[in-house]
């Protein structure tokens, strides 16, 4: 599973840092042909879900094949983090010579 998000105008600050650390991954082929995609800079972020251990079993084979790891809540309760897929965030590339853009 993956998701495509385009940050537009005043939405950009909302998405900056929302998903954590960006990963180096190529944009999936099914997205590369969408109109306007080539005009944006794309970053991939892990889409994770936190589940109680007993809830992981309800996901069946879908969760078994996904990266997962155990964590604890602040009060010591165990839970499982499952990486369900990727979220792709596209932003307009900073333009050289434009205020707020890249330096020349």
Q: pLDDT class for 67, splitting at 50, 70, 90?
A: very high
Dig out the tokens for 50 from the structure.
Answer: 């936190």
**pTM of the predicted protein model:** 0.67
Q: pLDDT class for 20, splitting at 50, 70, 90?
A: confident
Instruction: Kindly tell me if the per-residue pLDDT of 54 is higher than 50.
Output: yes
Distance CA 10, CA 4 (A): 18
> Of the candidates 36, 21, 42, which has an alpha carbon nearest to the alpha carbon of residue 91?
42
The answer to whether the beta carbons of residues 44 and 87 sit under 8 Å apart is: yes
Dig out the tokens for 61 from the structure.
Answer: 């084979």
Q: pLDDT class for 69, splitting at 50, 70, 90?
A: very high
| pLDDT for residue 63 | 72
Dig out the tokens for 62 from the structure.
Answer: 């879908």
| pLDDT for residue 104 | 38
């Amino acid at each position: 599973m993956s998701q495509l998000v385009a940050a537009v105008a005043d939405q950009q600050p909302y998405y900056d840092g929302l998903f954590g650390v960006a990963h180096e991954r190529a944009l999936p082929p099914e997205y590369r042909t969408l109109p306007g995609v080539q005009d944006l800079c794309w970053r991939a972020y892990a889409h994770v879900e936190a589940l109680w251990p007993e809830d992981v079993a309800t996901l069946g084979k879908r969760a078994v094949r996904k990266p997962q790891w155990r964590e604890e809540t602040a009060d010591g309760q165990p839970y499982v983090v499952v990486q369900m897929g990727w979220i792709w965030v596209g932003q307009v590339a900073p333009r050289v010579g434009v205020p707020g853009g890249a330096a020349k």
